[in-house]
Each structure stands twice: as C-alpha cells, then as structure tokens.
Amino acid sequence: MSVNYEVHWSRLGDAPQIMTINCLFVAAHGPYLQIIEEPKQRGFRFRYECEGPSHGGLPGASSEKNKKTYPTVRVSLPQPHISSYSSVPAPSVFLFM
C-alpha cells in the first residue's frame, strides 16, 4: 500500500510551499485504513450559531462545481486463509487462496 503525504511549510513573508512524500506501508497483521480522497482545503469552515446550519456536506479534494466528490477511505483486511476438509474416501485438506 502506498500513501502520499503533503507537507506544508512557509517562511515569514513567503508563499506556502507544498511537498508530497510517497510512503510505502505493508500491513503485517490486522486491518488498515487507506485514504482515497482527502477533504478539500478550505472547502468547509466553522459556522457560528447565528449563521444557521452548515450548507452541504464536506467536499472532496477533487470536487468541482458540476462534479461533487466527498472524502473517501477504504478499510482493508488481510487476506484470509480458507480451508475445506473432506473425509471421503480419505481425509484431505484443500486450501483456497
């Protein structure tokens, strides 16, 4: 599984800089979470109670005016090992991958 991280930094008076770092993760045991689409930068802001309720959902990073997307994650489980046993005529094991 490969994951991209964006690192933001700036010096006083300079425009913000963005660097994307690609990291490779391998899940040895157990489930893992993969971020498919992150929330849009500045796509959602805090609203005071006097402004009324929120206006719509949280948009995704690739959301456009006519094509709405939303933040998405994928939960993946490790590959299960499934076995089937037979007792006729002689006991044997069948492995499914």
Q: How many angstroms separate the Cα of 67 from the Cα of each of 18, 40, 63? A: 25, 13, 6
Domains of the chain: total: 1
Pair of tokens at residue 60: 């995704």
Give 84's strand partners: 94
For residue 73, the enclosing domain spans 2-96
Model pTM? 0.43
Are 82 and 96 contacting, i.e. CB atoms less than 8 angstroms apart?
A: yes
* Amino acid at the residue 73: V
Write the single-letter amino acid at 11: R
Whether the predicted pLDDT of 79 surpasses 80: no
**According to the model, what pLDDT value does residue 44 have?**
63
Model pLDDT, residue 19: 52
- Per-residue pLDDT tens over the stretch 40-77: 887 566 677 787 776 667 788 888 889 988 888 887 77
Residue 40 or 29, more confident: 40
